[in-house]
Amino acid sequence: MSGYRTQSEDTDPRAERVLIEGYRRMSPWEKARCVSELSRACEDLARVGILLRHPDATEEEMRLRLASLTLDRETMVRVFSWDPEEKGY
6 close to 12: Cβ distance less than 8 angstroms: yes
Q: 55-75 pLDDT, tens per residue?
A: 999 999 999 999 999 999 999
* Residues 83 and 77 sit within 8 Å (Cβ to Cβ): yes
Sign of the dihedral defined by the CA atoms of residues 62, 65, 69, 75, in that order: positive
Over the stretch 43-58, which tens digit does the pLDDT of each residue have? 999 999 999 999 999 9
pTM of the model: 0.71
The DSSP result for 32-86, as a single string, is HHHHHHHHHHHHHHHHHHHHHH-TT--HHHHHHHHHHTTS-HHHHHHHH---HHH
